[in-house]
Amino acid sequence: MEKRVGDLGEFGLLDRLFTLVRRAEIPVGLGDDAAVLTVSPGRWLLVTTDTLVEEVHFRRAWASAWQVGYKALAVNLSDIAAMGGTPTYALISLAVPGSLSLSWVEDLYRGLEACAAQWGVRIVGGDTVAAASICLTVVLLGECEAGRVRTRGDGRAGDLLLVTGELGAAGAGLEELSAPAAACPPAARARVVARHLLPTPRLAEGRLLAAHPAVGAVIDLSDGLAQGVREIARASAVGAEIWSESLPLALATKEVAAAHGQDPLAWALYGGEDYELLFSVRPSAVAAVREELDRACGTPVRVIGCLLPPEAGLLVERAGERVPLARGGYDHFLQPGKNYG
Ligand SMILES: [Mg+2]
């Protein structure tokens, strides 16, 4: 008979899961009351946390346990990337029903460990607790050179707004998972679903941006471009304008949108979970920053708008028309993206 989580008990379960992760070379590691870590002189410590809840952030019908584990760590890595840091150690808290199969939880840990290994992170502790549904919390530590961080509040009116990679694919992937379209080309579907399930944190890009004197505000896009721009504008006390025709949409995203009869710009603006970096740069340095990101990381970067004086508010420009950026929904030409649940 298949083993269940409840068969092992808390300590048995943790012992079993900890065999799936690499050991860190730290003063006190897995299995004691607390992990003991060293802090390097001249460095700042970064800490972030994020929780994934079943049926809110993931569905077992759509994502394997491995994918849920990978993504849970990747979204935390994206926050460290936005600060320009290097991730170091992670703690994993797991709430699961005792009836859940042990192999599901082990696969979850394998996904966590795969992501950790890929990005140089060690899992140094964890907790498990019985609960009615699955809930996974990651606490991630990182570090950066003292003084070298960029926050959401470092934008200045007159800066241009840039974004790494592409937008809208994760929203397209979520749409395909929740309501598959028969007309959707399989290759496009596979690509956008992968973007939704396995995001890539922009860690090298974030470090490069934090080190560049012409870069202002930086944020990672977990909740859509519109929300990212809103956050930078709020924290930097500026206005902003998004040039919707400049948004980087992959061909696959456009193909999925066509199959669904939807506007891919809505996914880019409101869909969320792209985990790209949105940042502001002084206009005179834009070419140099783009070139540096391309050379060091091979990452394309697109200029997608600008920061304005605060009285300008938040605007979206399309076909020469400027309209206020909608908060949740949208009235004229852009529909709000869907969310889970
Ligand atoms: Mg973030």
- Residue 171 Cα to ligand 1 midpoint, Å, equals 17
Q: Are residues 161 and 260 in the same domain?
A: yes
- Residue 31 Cα to ligand 1 midpoint, Å, equals 30
Q: Are residues 317 and 197 in the same domain?
A: yes
Per the prediction, the chain carries an average pLDDT of 93
Q: Are residues 111 and 193 in the same domain?
A: no
Q: Where among 116, 145, 174 does a domain terminate?
A: 145
- Residue 33 Cα to ligand 1 midpoint, Å, equals 30
pLDDT computed for residue 317 by the predictor:
94
Q: Where among 124, 145, 166 does a domain terminate?
A: 145
**Position with higher pLDDT, 39 vs 140:** 140
- Residue 6 Cα to ligand 1 midpoint, Å, equals 34
Give the CATH number for residue 14. 3.30.1330.10
Q: Are residues 183 and 226 in the same domain?
A: yes
**Per the domain annotation, does 49 fall within a domain?**
yes
**Per the domain annotation, does 333 fall within a domain?**
no
Radius of gyration in angstroms for the set of CA atoms belonging to the chain, rounded to a whole number? 21
- Residue 205 Cα to ligand 1 midpoint, Å, equals 15
- Residue 221 Cα to ligand 1 midpoint, Å, equals 7
**Per the domain annotation, does 295 fall within a domain?**
yes
Q: Are residues 276 and 303 in the same domain?
A: yes
- Residue 275 Cα to ligand 1 midpoint, Å, equals 8
- Residue 102 Cα to ligand 1 midpoint, Å, equals 32
Reported as a pLDDT band with limits 50, 70 and 90, residue 95 is very high
Overall number of domains in the chain: 2
Across the range 41-47, mean pLDDT stands at: 96
Across the range 272-298, mean pLDDT stands at: 97
- Residue 183 Cα to ligand 1 midpoint, Å, equals 34
pTM as predicted: 0.93
Decide: 173 and 192 in contact? Cβ < 8 Å.
Answer: yes
- Residue 79 Cα to ligand 1 midpoint, Å, equals 4
pLDDT computed for residue 337 by the predictor:
41
- Residue 2 Cα to ligand 1 midpoint, Å, equals 39
Task: Using the predicted structure, report yes or no on whether residue 192 has a pLDDT greater than 70.
Answer: yes
- Residue 32 Cα to ligand 1 midpoint, Å, equals 31
- Residue 220 Cα to ligand 1 midpoint, Å, equals 5
Q: Which domain, by its residues, includes 180?
A: 152-324
- Which residue is listed with tokens 């970064």? 46
Q: pLDDT tens-digit profile of 149-179?
A: 999 999 999 999 999 999 999 999 999 999 9
**Per the domain annotation, does 337 fall within a domain?**
no
Cα(48)–Cα(210) distance, rounded to whole angstroms? Answer: 18
Q: Are residues 135 and 118 in the same domain?
A: yes
Q: Where among 120, 145, 170 does a domain terminate?
A: 145
Cα(115)–Cα(95) distance, rounded to whole angstroms? Answer: 20
Q: Are residues 180 and 202 in the same domain?
A: yes
**Per the domain annotation, does 73 fall within a domain?**
yes
Q: Are residues 75 and 166 in the same domain?
A: no
Q: pLDDT tens-digit profile of 203-242?
A: 999 999 999 999 999 999 999 999 999 999 999 999 999 9
**Per the domain annotation, does 330 fall within a domain?**
no
Q: Are residues 42 and 171 in the same domain?
A: no
Across the range 94-102, mean pLDDT stands at: 96
Q: Are residues 198 and 128 in the same domain?
A: no
Alpha-helix runs per DSSP H in 83-185: 102-118, 169-178
**Per the domain annotation, does 253 fall within a domain?**
yes
Give the CATH number for residue 177. 3.90.650.10
Least confident of 25-34, 162-171, 326-335: 326-335
Q: Which residues make beta-bridge pairs with 322?
A: 317
Q: Are residues 177 and 52 in the same domain?
A: no
- Residue 230 Cα to ligand 1 midpoint, Å, equals 13
DSSP 325: P
Q: Are residues 127 and 51 in the same domain?
A: yes
- Residue 301 Cα to ligand 1 midpoint, Å, equals 19
The CA–CA distances, whole Å, from 320 to 105, 118, 244, 262, 312 equal 52, 44, 10, 22, 16
Least confident of 1-15, 118-132, 279-293: 1-15
Task: Using the predicted structure, report yes or no on whether residue 7 has a pLDDT greater than 60.
Answer: yes
